[in-house]
Amino acid sequence: MTAFPESRTVILTGAASPRGIGRASAHYLAERGWNVGIIDLDAAAAKRVAEEIVLEHGVQAAGAGADVSNEAQVRVAFDELEGALPQIVALVNLAGVSSPVPYLEVTPEEWNRVMNINLNGVHYATRRAVESMVKNGVGRVVSLASVSAQRGGGTYSKTPYSAAKAGIIGFSRSVARELGHDGITVNVISPGPIDTDIMGGTLTDERKVLMAADGVLPRIGTPRDIAAAIAYLISEDAGFVTGQTLNVDGGLYMH
């Protein structure tokens, strides 16, 4: 297997929101020597987070704007980041939207909105990233699913979200199988409830206690819990782990 280059870049989608998993992960990975590329719907915010990372961690970083549900925009953003940063070794698909709409109220527009961002977006970013990784003979792809996919909802989001996140698991296993011979691993992290804004606004302490009660551990997750899992799966040491779903959910779903 091809070794990691001395200077390596991770691209994260959806990593610009102030209290999100993506931004926390970008900082966590930069602390560990990764150069960072950020793709976000908000191009200015992506560039701001990149500047923050350069100042705080002394690595290279760059931001680009793209709607992940638009393949042409995703490809342009990747081209821009690839031109500005060292070799892309890892992609982390974090961009996503929630959908708390009850099934009998789901419109075609809502279904397509969630699928286009949460599933098609993962495909578009992965497809572009692995084109470069295959040429270099090494790569790591990590995408975020959700405990909702495994339990059939039961958290904040409902059916379209659960379906899209379950799709990410099947998609990732298939790409892992096809691209393993090219030195690329493809894995999934499935978070339980994490204290971020996607959970329907800032969680009250009372709501955190109620959500934690469903799991085994006496708290809900933090963005750092997910960042640490990402850091492992994109590491050189995780080269024999592929097609897997790592549940980071406080024991909410055991299988």
Residues 34-43 pLDDT 10s: 999 999 999 9
Let me know if residue 27 belongs to a domain: yes
Average pLDDT value for residue range 2-26: 94
For the chain, what percent of residues have pLDDT higher than 70? 93
Whether 205 maps to a domain, the answer reads no
The answer to whether residue 255 is domain-embedded is: no
pLDDT value, residue 212: 60
pLDDT value, residue 223: 93
Q: What is the pLDDT of residue 201?
A: 52
Residue 1 lies inside a defined structural domain of this protein? no
pLDDT for residue 203: 58
209 within domain boundaries? no
Query: Which residues 6+ apart lie within 8 Å of 62 measured at CB?
Result: 36, 37, 38, 47, 50, 80, 81, 84, 85
Report the domain count for the chain.
1
The pLDDT of residue 80 is above 80:
yes
pLDDT for 187:
98
Residue 25 C-beta-side C-alpha neighbours within 13 Å? 35
Domain containing 114 — which CATH number? 3.40.50.720
- Does residue 60 fall inside a structural domain? yes
Token pair listed for 2: 């091809």
Where does the pLDDT of residue 27 fall: very low under 50, low under 70, confident under 90, or very high at 90 and above? very high
The yes-or-no verdict on residue 2 having pLDDT over 70 is yes
Catalytic residue among 124, 161, 232, 253: 161
For the full predicted model, state whether its pTM sits above 0.85.
yes
Instruction: Give domain status of residue 102, yes or no.
Output: yes
Least confident segment among 81-90, 111-120, 128-137, 193-202: 193-202
- Computed over every residue of the chain, the mean pLDDT equals 93
pLDDT tens digits for range 169-204 = 999 999 999 999 999 999 999 998 888 655 545 556
pLDDT at 218: 80
Mean pLDDT of 35-56: 97
Both structure tokens of 188 = 């999934």
253 catalytic per annotation? no
Which of 225, 86, 237, 81 lies closest to 144 in space, CA to CA?
225
Q: What is the mean pLDDT of residues 119-137?
A: 98
- The pLDDT, as a whole number, for residue 213 is 60
Indicate if the pLDDT at residue 160 is higher than 60: yes
Q: Are 186 and 243 in contact (CB under 8 A)?
A: yes
pLDDT attached to residue 255: 79
Of 69-73, 101-105, 140-144, 148-152, minimum mean pLDDT range:
148-152
CA nearest to 61, candidates 75, 44, 45, 49: 49
Structure tokens at 133: 């990784």
Q: Helix H segments across the chain?
A: 21-31, 43-57, 71-84, 108-115, 121-136, 147-151, 159-179, 205-212, 223-233
Cβ burial, residue 208 (10 Å; 0-12/13-18/19+): middle
Residue 144 inside a domain? The answer is yes
pLDDT confidence of residue 211: 60
| pLDDT value at residue 72 | 98
| CA separation for the pair 213, 194 (Å, rounded) | 14
Contacts of 245 (CB under 8 A, 6+ apart): 145, 169, 172, 187, 188, 189, 190
Which domain covers residue 90, as residue numbers? Answer: 9-193+222-248
User: What is the predicted pLDDT for the residue at 202?
Assistant: 54
Average pLDDT over residues 144-167: 92
